[in-house]
Amino acid sequence: MIYLLLVGAPLLVGLLALVVDSDERRPWLLPFGCTIHASIVAACWKTLPGPAMNGWFRIDDLGLIVLSLASVMFLVCSVYCLEYLRLRKERRNRLFTACLSFILASVSLVAVSRHMGILWVGMEAATLATAPLVYFNHNEKSLEATWKYLMMGSLGIGLALLGTFFLALAAIPFEGRGDPLLIDTLLSRAGTLSLPWLKGAFIFLLVGYGTKMGLAPLHSWKPDAYGESPGVAGAILAGVITACPFLGILRAFQICAAAGLSEFAQGLLVMIGLLSMATAAVFIIGQRDFKRMLAYSSVEHMGILALGVGLGPAGSFAALLHLINNGLTKGVLFLSAGNIHRAFGGKTMDHVRGALRRAPISATLFLLGFVAITGSPPFAPFVSEFSILRAAVDGHRFGVALGFVGLLAVIFIGMATTVLSVVYGIPPNSDSELSAQGDSPLMIAAPMVFMALVVFLGLWLPGRLTAVLSGAARLLNGGAS
């Protein structure tokens, strides 16, 4: 029942948004739907609901993390949307509003499913629902970005499907006893899985969902999609939609770990993680477009997530914490970047200088967000990145640790160049009518809430959250659910 609500409520709101005919009133559906969703999720935190539908749906600690992250991100972003869509009156927002709700519905589906097939369907739905968001600006560049997003997304989703089929083939030894794609069945009979097929399945799932996540080398859609979509869509993409494929990879990892393939899977994750970080570092240096810079930062952090999971139990805990921290911080960055973009009418360093003068609060938030995402105390990402580093050192993976720190340093320098020149300096042409657009209350409030959460989690990790995170980390490393 609760699963039906989690998926159905946003779905209904989305359908309602398609029906409502007023561009002014329609956006109000978003905070409404998100509030309902958030309250259901809060109820889940109180008592975890049991399995439903032959065990196809159940929330475990991993799912709960993704679900809660999505719910919080959406709730805050929906408030931002109210103001944003009011400012963008020249565009019809019917599809935008509806698709945001559909994304929430499909993300919830991914988070609560215990079936690799359902998980895949949810991921596909999320991919398709995101395309209109990327295309929201209806110009040549956003068209190109949407095209790349769809092509790469479809390829990734197709590869993931192939991986799912491989998984079913690995389960041939079950001989028809139990659904071969049900995660619980797979976990309980992991010992009998056919290892070559399971290895193939993990590789395809990693590459396929990795494409959706934006792991190198199939990340090329990311800068375009993030750069051309509105700031709020960027926040949802970077914070929530990347968490879903990550969950898919984690599920595959869970099965591999249960079947005794953890070393194989961890090796791959560490490799692809470091590769993503290195790719991001190369492209972030000298990046003149600050939204594309954020996209590469997202590639980097996806790499960090993969790396963390590859480093064993302690690393997994840190990676899951980083999933939350990265999402929230990306919320700050993308929303404030969206504000700056609008205040200047451009997003490259040629057009944007001295944001502190034109949009002081957004610029401050952007600066703080940059400091946070690059891993400086007292913000939350520092905690998780430091824990990953410690996991590497404790595991005597000194090479990995060195690479990790080195790449973080390079990325810090690369991002600093861009961010500082955006924030400081004198605005290029100070005509007053543009600067009036600078900061508006709701559009600052949303990133401020994210910022507050980032600071809060950086200073104090609630006991309940720690419990859920370590529960999830246990799941990933062969523990029973």
Partner 1 sequence: MGQLSQLLLAFIVFLSLYLLGSSSLTGCIKIVALQGMCLGVLPLTVRAEGFHPQGLLLAAGMFILKGFAIPWVLLYAIREVKIRREMEPMIGYIPSLLIGAALIGVSFALAERLPVPAGLRTSLLIPVSLATVMMGMLMMISRFKAVSQVIGYLVFENGVYLFGLAIAYQVPWIIEMGVLLDVFVAVFVMGIIINHIARAFDSISTEKLTRLSD
Give the footprint of partner 1 on this chain (CB under 8 A): 117, 120-121, 124, 128, 131, 135, 139-141, 143-148, 150-151, 154-155, 157-158, 161-162, 164-165, 168-169, 171-172, 176, 179-181, 194, 196-197, 200, 223-224, 227-228, 283, 287, 292
CB of 26 vs partner 1, minimal distance in Å: 22
Q: Which residues contact 115 (CB under 8 A, 6 or more apart)?
A: 56, 179, 181, 182, 183
Q: Which is nearer to partner 1, 120 or 344 (CB)?
A: 120
Instruction: Give whichever of 200 and 369 is closer to partner 1, judged by the CB atom.
Output: 200
Nearer to partner 1, 62 or 171 (CB): 171
Report whether 280 contacts 415 (CB < 8 A).
no
User: How far apart, in Å, are the Cα atoms of 79 and each of 32, 74, 475?
Assistant: 10, 9, 34
- Closer residue to partner 1 (CB): 89 or 141: 141
Smaller CB distance to partner 1: residue 303 or 331? 303
> Within 10 A of 354 (CB to CB), how many other CB atoms are there?
18
Residues 16 and 144: their CA atoms lie apart, in Å, by 30
Beta carbon nearer to partner 1, 200 or 338: 200
Q: At its nearest, how many Å lie between partner 1 and the CB of residue 165?
A: 5
- Rounded to the nearest 10 degrees, the angle between the axes of helix 262-284 and helix 243-258 is 150
Q: How far is the CB of 59 from partner 1 (least distance, A)?
A: 21
Q: Smaller CB distance to partner 1: residue 286 or 428? A: 286
Instruction: Quote the Cα angle for 112-114-116, to 5°.
Output: 115
Give the 3-state secondary structure of residue 438. coil
What is the nearest approach in angstroms of partner 1 to the Cβ of residue 146?
6
The CB-of-98 to partner 1 minimum distance in angstroms stands at: 15
Shortest distance in whole angstroms from residue 182 CB to partner 1: 10
3-state SS assignment for residue 7? helix
Residue type at 294?
L
CB 414 within 8 A of CB 286: yes
Quote the least distance from Cβ 270 to partner 1, whole Å: 25
- Judge contact between 238 and 334, C-beta under 8 A: yes
Instruction: Report the 10 Å Cβ neighbour count for 259.
Output: 24
Helix (H, G, I), strand (E, B) or coil at 348: strand
Phi, psi of 193 (to 5 degrees): -65, 150
Residue 177, class by beta-carbon neighbours within 10 Å (0-12 exposed, 13-18 middle, 19+ buried)?
exposed
**What is the spatial distance between Cα 131 and Cα 405, in angstroms, rounded to a whole number?**
35
Q: Is the CB of 380 or the CB of 407 nearer to partner 1? A: 407
Q: How far is the CB of 117 from partner 1 (least distance, A)?
A: 5
Residue 153 CB, shortest distance to partner 1, in Å, is: 9
Which DSSP string corresponds to 224-291?
Answer: HHHHHS-HHHHHHIIIIITHHHHHHHHHHHHHHHHTT-HHHHHHHHHHHHHHHHHHHHHHHTT--BHH
Place of tokens 């809430």: 449
Q: Are the beta carbons of 126 and 233 closer than 8 angstroms?
A: no
Question: Among residues 77 and 171, whose Cβ is nearest to partner 1?
Answer: 171
CB of 144 to partner 1, least distance (A): 4
Q: Which one, 40 or 411, has the nearer CB to partner 1?
A: 411
Report the DSSP beta bridge partners of residue 57. Answer: 52, 113
